[in-house]
A and B are shown apart, each in its own frame.
Chain A
Amino acid sequence: DQQVKQNSPSLSVQEGRISILNCDYTNSMFDYFLWYKKYPAEGPTFLISISSIKDKNEDGRFTVFLNKSAKHLSLHIVPSQPGDSAVYFCAAPFYGGATNKLIFGTGTLLAVQP
């Protein structure tokens, strides 16, 4: 059961334009979400997070929007730069007893064309 879904495996955007990456979740108990960026053969790098008490969080060129009623979040990158080309994962912490693990989406490969 894929509790966090990224339905677009890839996205291509022109440099300077906006990149919008989408993520859906099914578990209404999720109350915190994270976006990670990953280059090949490297570990994921934390980008930005959002708590369910907010509907928007902004950090420089990166903004994450959360729509709890739709169980949907999106990451906006403005303006997009070639160095943003990477795989982006959304993730949600799952709490079960004393454990804490991240449930990841399948990732979206972003290609920013110069």
Chain B
Amino acid sequence: KAGVTQTPRYLIKTRGQQVTLSCSPISGHRSVSWYQQTPGQGLQFLFEYFSETQRNKGNFPGRFSGRQFSNSRSEMNVSTLELGDSALYLCASSALNNRELQFFGPGTRLTVL
């Protein structure tokens, strides 16, 4: 079974721009979560999607948003980029009968200049 895939792997943007990151979960997994990893804050929960619905959102500003499609693929969007948004963005998926066990993709390294 293929793992979680994320595209692109690396991205460089400038302040004020917006960015869209994509995640394809493991086949059959319907829950997709997004996390941000920074050196100062560690791994922080962004949001979780299940059946195209956002279940919860972490403590991030409204500039961070996401969505999930009917095939469980998910995208997250960050608008009006700030320097502090530079981070590794990780997507994870889990199965319906074992939602605690999340499998992570390789991440997208976003650099904001």
| Bound together | yes
- The minimal Cβ–Cβ distance linking A104 to chain B, given in whole angstroms, is 4
Interface size class of B (residues with CB under 8 A): 20 to 34
Q: Say yes or no: is A53 at the interface (Cβ < 8 Å to chain B).
A: no
A49 surroundings in chain B (CB, below 8 A): 100-101
Q: A107 and B101: CB pair below 8 A?
A: no
Instruction: Tell which of A41, A44, A45, A49 has the most Cβ of chain B within 10 Å.
Output: A44
Q: B104 and A104: CB pair below 8 A?
A: no
The A contact surface, by secondary structure, is: strand
- The minimal Cβ–Cβ distance linking B57 to chain A, given in whole angstroms, is 9
Q: B42 and A100: CB pair below 8 A?
A: no
How many angstroms from the CA of A100 to the CA of B45 in the assembled complex?
A: 10
Instruction: Tell which of B43, B55, B56 has the most Cβ of chain A within 10 Å.
Output: B43
Determine the residue in chain B with the shortest Cβ distance to A40.
Answer: B88
Q: A98 and B107: CB pair below 8 A?
A: no
| Interface residues as binary, A7-42 with B (CB distance below 8 Å gives 1, 0 otherwise) | 000000000000000000000000010101000011
Q: Which 6 pairs of residues, A with B, have the shortest CB-CB distance?
A: A99-B56, A43-B104, A104-B43, A101-B45, A93-B100, A99-B55
Q: Can you report 27 residue pairs joining A to B where beta carbons are below 8 Å apart? A: A32-B100, A34-B100, A36-B104, A41-B107, A41-B109, A43-B6, A43-B90, A43-B92, A43-B104, A43-B106, A45-B104, A46-B103, A49-B100, A97-B56, A98-B50, A98-B56, A100-B55, A100-B94, A100-B100, A101-B45, A101-B56, A102-B43, A102-B92, A102-B102, A104-B35, A104-B42, A105-B42
